Structure 1
Amino acid sequence: MMNEKPKMHFTDKYLLAPTNPITVNLIGAGGTGSKMLTGLMEINESLLALGHPGLQVRLWDDDLVTSANLGRQRFFECEVGLQKSVALINRINRCIGSNWKAETVKFVKDNAGNLPENARATITITCVDTVKARFGVAEILTELNEKRSYFRDSPKYWMDFGNSQYSGQVILSTVGNINQPTSQKFEPVKNLPFVTNEYGELLIQSEKNDNTPSCSLAEALEKQELFINASLAQMGCDLLWGLFRNGMTPYKGFFHNLKDFRTVPIPIA
């Protein structure tokens, strides 16, 4: 009896050798998103050092910085009252001389059902706090995939971050099928399902009824531990970095519990 080949997803070849920077839509600039942006900056600088064109990031968030965001999110006292996306993107651009963009609106369809401008990106990363927002992103990506073209920013991947007070998860999905090479060693997997398809019922059941914004940092810490967002962001960045650096991944995400320091990878099935 022959042993089954281990399953592996091979990175879309466009990510590995593009002629232009890889476009990224980062949706949400809060506890996870603000730290994920720093990780994307580090990935970008590392890719450039390796001769890759790097990343072109667009950050989406319609919220303003409040005093409750200080400490747990990557904001400072002098930024209170500013648009979150603008404050973070300006800081990154000043730091590395990039031309990344800020969007001060939600990543949603308008009342007429039209897609948001600049919705198309090779990689979409969601750091949102509601199930409704995730299903909205899934709908937009599905529509973009149905209108798939050969433009350089044709959507390829969706990485979703979610967390509760002590724990969280990161799920990597493909937008449609990704062409895979033949392999004698591995069983290539061309499709990684959306988080909304695979864990939709679980997301709905786990969503809390009270999403009222915190009025202070102390109140915010009662809802989410100080380092759960940063911990998830770092590990998620490593998963994304592996797509570029290794050209393949045997995992499509992980479940992470910071309270007892346990992480369980999710193998590709």
Structure 2
Amino acid sequence: MKTKAHFIAPELLNPTNPIEVCLIGAGGTGSQVLTGLARMSHSLIALGHAGFQVSLWDDDVVTEANLGRQLFAASELGLPKASALATRCNRFFGTGWKAVCKPFGKADNQRATIYISCVDSATARFGIADVLKGMGSERRYSDVPRYWMDFGNGRENGQVILSTIGDIEQPTSGKFETVGSLPFVTDEFTEMLLQADIDDLPSCSLAEALEKQDLFVNSTLAQMGCSLLWQLFRNCITTQRGLFLNVAGFRAAPLPV
């Protein structure tokens, strides 16, 4: 029996221009994922690839409770999270990435090839899914929506799941059973998302925030999710489309294609 695998959309392997990436959420996970994308883009460029062009979406501002668990400094208190992170990233890596200090929604018509969501509610995920499904049938010369990677976590556990936006044509393979369509997290794990969608009040301190989310669950999840994306670009193929993580038990379970 052949192993199921997904081959990357061919136009992402050697693009003329940087690949448009839309990162939604600049909190505990999003701030870590942005750094991972910058490192990935820098490395891809060194390998002859065009790299990424990222837009970071978030309408929140930096508060005292964010310091320590999220990648913000005391000097950034009161600043929009997206602006603070994008500015720092651009200065450090020499990128020209942009901050969008408002929620992601249908009215913005933000087109990208890869969408990455690091949001904290099922409502936000279903909203993103609605936008992306509306884009799935559109086909333009550039910036065709191809992938959605969603990060989500609780206090000590989390998951990252890669989905395709529409069906991606696969090559013929004698070794693998190729899969061109990976389901949306909102379609496959609807009940899990709805059960976990508890509306918490904002944390007023770091100590209170740590009662809701462990210090390293976001960064660990971000590193593993970025590694999945990196391997997809480097190897052009993946047999895994995500993972489930538990930092308390030091366990990670891959989600096969």
Q: Deviations over 1:229-251 (max 9, x none)?
A: 00000000000001110000000
**Cα drift, residue 108 of structure 1:** 1.6
Task: Supply the AA of the counterpart residue of 1:149.
Answer: R
1:102 to 87, 95, 99: 99
| Selected match of 1:142 from 133, 140, 153 | 133
Equivalent-residue separation in structure 2 for 1:258 and 1:37 (angstroms): 21
Equivalent-residue separation in structure 2 for 1:65 and 1:132 (angstroms):
22
Q: Distance in 1 between matches of 2:94 and 2:196?
A: 41
CA distance in 2, matches of 1:41, 1:59: 12
Counterparts of 1:78 and 1:214, CA distance in 2: 19
Q: Aligned residue for 1:151?
A: 141
1:181 paired residue number: 171
Q: Which residue of 2 aligns with 1:89?
A: 86
1:95 maps to a residue whose letter is F
Task: Specify the SS of the correspondent of 2:130.
Answer: helix
Partner amino acid, structure 2, of 1:164: G
Q: Which whole-Å deviations, capped at 9, do the CAs of 1:165-209 have from their partners, x for residues lacking one?
A: 00000000000000100001111000000000000121102222x
Instruction: Give RMSD over aligned pairs.
Output: 0.8
Match of 1:68 in 2: 65
Q: Which amino acid aligns with 2:113?
A: T
Runs (4+) of structure 1 exceeding 3 A deviation are none
Which residue, 109, 116, 127 being the options, matches 2:108? 116
Q: Take 1:153 and 1:212, find their aligned partners in 2: how far apart are those partners? A: 37
Q: Identify the residue that residue 248 of structure 1 maps to in structure 2.
A: 237
Match of 2:12 in 1: 15
DSSP-derived class of the 1:38 partner: helix
Unaligned stretches of 5+ residues in structure 1: 110-114
Name the counterpart of 1:112: none
The separation in 2 between residues aligned to 1:102 and 1:211, in whole angstroms, is 26
Deviation at 1:14, TM superposition (A): 1.1
SS in 1 for 2:243: strand
Other structure's SS at 1:254 match: strand
1:132 equivalent in structure 2: 123
Which amino acid in 1 is paired with 2:188?
A: E
TM-score for both structures, normalised by structure 1: 0.94
The residue identity in structure 2 corresponding to 1:159 is: M
> When the two structures are superposed, what TM-score results if normalisation uses the length of structure 2?
0.99
How many residue pairs were aligned? 257
Structure 2 distance, partners of 1:5, 1:152, is 34
Q: Which residue of 1 aligns with 2:222?
A: 233
Partner-residue secondary structure (3-state), 2:35 = helix
Deviation at 1:151, TM superposition (A): 2.8
Q: How does 1:170-209 map to 2 (within 5 A)?
A: 170-208=160-198
Find the residue that maps to 1:242 and give its secondary structure.
helix
Give SS of 1:126's match. Answer: strand
* SS of residue in 1 equivalent to 2:148: strand
- Give me the whole-angstrom Cα distance separating, in 2, the residues matched to 1:108 and 1:231: 28
Deviation of 1:17 (Å): 1.0
5+ residue gaps, structure 2, are none
> Which letter does structure 2 place at the counterpart of 1:162?
G
